[in-house]
């Protein structure tokens, strides 16, 4: 048996344990499961919504650049997973990202390019690290991760464009209120997780 075959067998054997857990939607895995993941995990949904609204508040050119960075950071996250990076606090960081992005949306004040870039890059990486599926095979795992990259990229783009389309004063205020709601929710859950 070649080393590669041995590795694959070992991978299948080791990954058999997480089968005790469940998919977010029973029976839905692989690419479809990955596509649905950002929509079905509330913390991810909040983070992506806040990040999207934040991007929608930025000038179009800046927003386009940050979107590219976000997608690149998602891919970096996939590479990190494949490279056996095993984070511990990724769920907390996702909530922290949601809280910070929500606050920035609520404040609606210009921030430095470095801060925007850092927030978006960290967001993409931790969202992926928090999206590792319990799959039985490498192929479906990889497909799920690809699905999550696609879904997260599309979702943040759609939210950003929807936010940009809201140009009336009351609409912009509504966006800021939603940002404050997301920040408040994320802060509370983060505190709960840190406390317990």
Partner 1 sequence: MSIERPAARVALSLASVLASAPAWAHTGSVAGGFLGGFAHPVFGIDHVVAMVAVGLWGAFLGAPAIWLLPIVFPLVMACGGVLGILGVPIPAVETGIATSAVVLGLMVALAARPPLWVAAVLVGAFAIFHGHAHGAELPAGADAVAYSAGFVIATGVLHLAGIAFGTLAAWPAGRLAVRTAGGAIALAGVAFLALR
Interface contacts to partner 1, rule CB under 8 A: 3-4, 6-8, 10-15, 17-18, 21-22, 24, 37, 40-43, 46, 81-88, 90-91, 95, 103, 106, 129-135, 138, 141, 173, 176-177, 180-189, 191-193, 195-196
Q: Which is nearer to partner 1, 43 or 66 (CB)?
A: 43
Q: Which is nearer to partner 1, 60 or 193 (CB)?
A: 193
* Minimal distance, residue 177 CB to partner 1, in Å: 5
Distance of CA 29 to the CA centre of its chain: 18
- 154 within 8 A of 38, measured Cβ to Cβ: no
Residue 34's CB is within 10 A of a number of other CB atoms, namely 26
Question: How many Å apart are CA 103 and CA 181, to the nearest integer?
Answer: 9
Q: Which residues of 162-174 are buried (b: 16+ CB within 10 A; e: fewer)?
A: ebbebeeeeeeee
What is each CA distance from 135 to 10, 12, 23, 26, 187, in whole angstroms?
A: 14, 9, 9, 12, 31
* Minimal distance, residue 68 CB to partner 1, in Å: 26
* Minimal distance, residue 150 CB to partner 1, in Å: 17
What is each CA distance from 69 to 11, 20, 22, 51, 123, in whole angstroms?
A: 32, 36, 32, 12, 10
Q: Which is nearer to partner 1, 83 or 112 (CB)?
A: 83
* Minimal distance, residue 77 CB to partner 1, in Å: 11
* Minimal distance, residue 126 CB to partner 1, in Å: 11
Of 170, 171, 134, 126, the closest CA to residue 152 belongs to 126
* Minimal distance, residue 94 CB to partner 1, in Å: 10
Q: Which is nearer to partner 1, 114 or 167 (CB)?
A: 167
Q: Which is nearer to partner 1, 18 or 59 (CB)?
A: 18
The span from the first CA to the last CA of the chain, in angstroms, equals 47
Q: Which is nearer to partner 1, 61 or 196 (CB)?
A: 196
């Amino acid at each position: 048996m070649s080393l590669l075959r041995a590795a694959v067998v070992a991978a299948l054997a080791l990954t058999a344990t997480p089968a005790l857990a469940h998919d977010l939607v029973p029976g839905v895995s692989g690419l479809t499961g990955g596509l649905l993941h950002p929509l079905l995990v509330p913390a991810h949904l909040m983070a992506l919504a806040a990040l999207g609204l934040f991007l929608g508040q930025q000038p179009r050119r800046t927003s386009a650049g940050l979107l590219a960075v976000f997608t690149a950071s998602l891919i970096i996250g996939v590479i990190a997973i494949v490279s056996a990076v095993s984070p511990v606090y990724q769920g907390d960081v996702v909530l922290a990202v949601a809280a910070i992005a929500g606050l920035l949306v609520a404040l609606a004040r210009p921030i430095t390019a470095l801060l925007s870039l850092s927030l978006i890059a960290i967001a993409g990486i931790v969202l992926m690290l928090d999206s590792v599926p319990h799959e039985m095979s490498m192929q479906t795992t990889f497909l799920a991760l690809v699905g999550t990259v696609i879904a997260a990229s599309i979702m943040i783009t759609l939210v950003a464009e929807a936010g940009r389309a809201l140009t009336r004063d009351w609409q912009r205020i509504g966006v800021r209120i939603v940002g404050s709601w997301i920040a408040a929710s994320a802060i509370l859950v983060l505190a709960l997780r840190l406390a317990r």
